[in-house]
Amino acid sequence: MFHVKSIHESPPCDLDLEIAKDEVFTANKFRAHIERFYMTVAVGLFSVWKHIARLRSWREWQRTSVFLGVYAIAWFFDCLLSAFLTILLVLAVYPPSRALLFPHAPAAMIDGETGGVKKPMAGVLASDSMTGAPETYPGEAIEMEAHSFVNSIIEIAIAMSSGQNPEDIANAKDKTGGSLQAVEHDKTKKPVSDAVWEEALPVLHTMAGISDTYERFGNALSPTYPFSTEKPRRRIVSILVPLILGSYFLTAHMIFKGTGLIVGLLVFGDPIIKWAMDFAGRAYPQWQNYTELRNTVLKGIPTNAQLALTLLRIGERNQSPLPPPPHSTDPLPMETHSTAGEGLGELLRVDPLEINDAMQPDAETKEEADGDLREQQTKGNKTASRAIAFVKHVARGGVHAIRGADRVSAHVGGPGSKSARYRAGVVKTGGPPPASGPTRFLARFDGKKGYASIVVGSLEFGAAESSFLGWTAGRMGDESEEEEEGVAGGTKWAIEIADIHEIQKTGGLGWKSKILVGWATDEADIMDGVIIRDKAGHEYHLTAIPLRDALFNRLISVGGQMWESW
């Protein structure tokens, strides 16, 4: 969630955070949707694939025999569809059947080809993610996998561009004489570019819709308090039972003829389809809303974001705001988790020694985690490693020089001072930032150091040494000498939470700058910001917030507003 605006009308079932029709396309939002698609749909399909591999391997011969027997009987009596829908019905209304039909085994340890045991891609079984990588809290490994997945795509794109800027790559061949037509006479560039950007937003909406539907089905099958546990199951039963009964009367000839009719209508029935849609639009202006699963079958069932917002609001109503997730800069130990491999020997009919060998990290994995492997790989080519180190040193010096110039420009003023103030403090080097949240958050306003605090329904930005609304005076934590400069003096502004109309996340740096700074400075963290707009149109831009997402979550949950995602 990057950009939300308050809405006046309550959405159906009080589930807000729906995507606006006029949503704005941004690169960061596209990246976030790819990561979310990975964490939901891709991980789910990965697990399904591993279950199919286990069935095909016949290692669990009793379970595979049952599936084969049911399939053979259904095939013989021409009721495969009925059998499939019946299994779905049983899985939906009787949760214990899920573990019985599909017993859990770590997907990272299952070989997709043989259905046997293999060493996880991370070299150790420390989580239930696709790679088995270690994690600090449940779900962190999958989040990091999604982040690494998108980063890998970006690295491939950068490698293809050979270090050139994206806007220059398309014309590189033409400018070097590799094209028969000059760049200025190329009449295809603008139309193709416009077409790609025009289709980018529908692709974004489609990806978000698929992820939303997947999450809603998951929350319908495994509801979480305070949402009802029985209502979604009754609705699923009311849909599947008629389908099961109707499937007994459905023949292959009917399916073939129906498919042919649909294809014919799509190819030749455009006038009829347009007339029907125009008539429906005049008679029932909102008819398209009833074709969406979220307004019919999945009505009242939240996405993960809506579920999280509901839980955050419950915490706010009970004056117990949820703390931000744990954060640690220490490397995670390459150790298996406590319940890894339990029962796998009997389940997969594999030697316990083989399972233990697959779970435990080997020497190569430990060396890579400690950084020794990287040194061994670079010893063979000292010239290349020295060249890379030199370029990295120069880039690091350039980053520090730009940061120094930004500090001077932010204090002195002049051209570019506004952008310099927004960039002040966004690159954090050294140790972790002082602890903050869930009531006070380190932040900069107009380039000056301070903290944002949420107290008694108000959001305030005060100086690091200020005392207000009964809070304890003093700094939030130890500050480095570099960050002593530009400390704000006194409370700058205060607004009521109820007056907030719009909240928008902003990046501390552009995506290309983030890649360069992250590569050059190694351990540096790039801190992002947030823009807050009230009903009167006033704008407050907070920057360099270590816990930006935690602040954003509190702002959208502490008030009584209903939000729409932009």
Of 114, 101, 124, 97, the residue nearest 50 (C-alpha): 114
Query: E strand or H helix at 61, and its extent?
Result: helix 61-76
Q: Given this model, what pLDDT does residue 459 score?
A: 61
Residue 457 CB burial class (10 angstroms; 0-12, 13-18, ≥19): exposed
Instruction: Kindly compute the dihedral angle of the four CA atoms of residues 498, 499, 502, 506, in this order, to the nearest 10 degrees.
Output: -90
What single letter denotes the amino acid at residue 383? T
What digits encode the pLDDT tens for the residues 283-337? 888 888 888 888 888 888 999 999 999 999 998 888 888 777 776 666 666 777 6
Distance of alpha carbon 263 from alpha carbon 273, whole angstroms: 13
> Which is more confident, 538 or 526?
538
Distance of alpha carbon 52 from alpha carbon 45, whole angstroms: 11
pTM for the predicted model, two decimal places: 0.80
Q: Among the ranges 140-144, 180-184, 319-323, 464-468, which has the highest mean pLDDT value?
A: 140-144
Q: Given this model, what pLDDT does residue 141 score?
A: 87
Fold of 425-472+479-565: PH-domain like (2.30.29)
CA end-to-end distance (rounded Å), the chain:
9
User: What percentage of the chain exceeds 70 in pLDDT?
Assistant: 68
Pairing of strands 562-565, 18-19: parallel
User: What percentage of the chain exceeds 90 in pLDDT?
Assistant: 23
Q: Given this model, what pLDDT does residue 465 score?
A: 43
Listed in sequence order, the DSSP H helices in 187-299 are 189-221, 231-247, 252-268, 270-283
Distance of alpha carbon 499 from alpha carbon 497, whole angstroms: 5
Radius of gyration for the alpha carbons in the chain, expressed in angstroms and rounded: 28
Angle at which helices 382-412 and 372-379 pack, to 10 degrees? 120
Angle at which helices 304-317 and 548-558 pack, to 10 degrees? 70
Q: Cis (ω within 30 of 0) for the bond into 226?
A: yes
Instruction: Kindly compute the dihedral angle of the four CA atoms of residues 492, 494, 500, 505, in this order, to the nearest 10 degrees.
Output: 40
Each domain of the chain, given as residue ranges in start order, spans: 382-420, 425-472+479-565
* Contacts (Cβ under 8 Å, ≥6 apart) of 40: 211, 214, 215, 218, 304
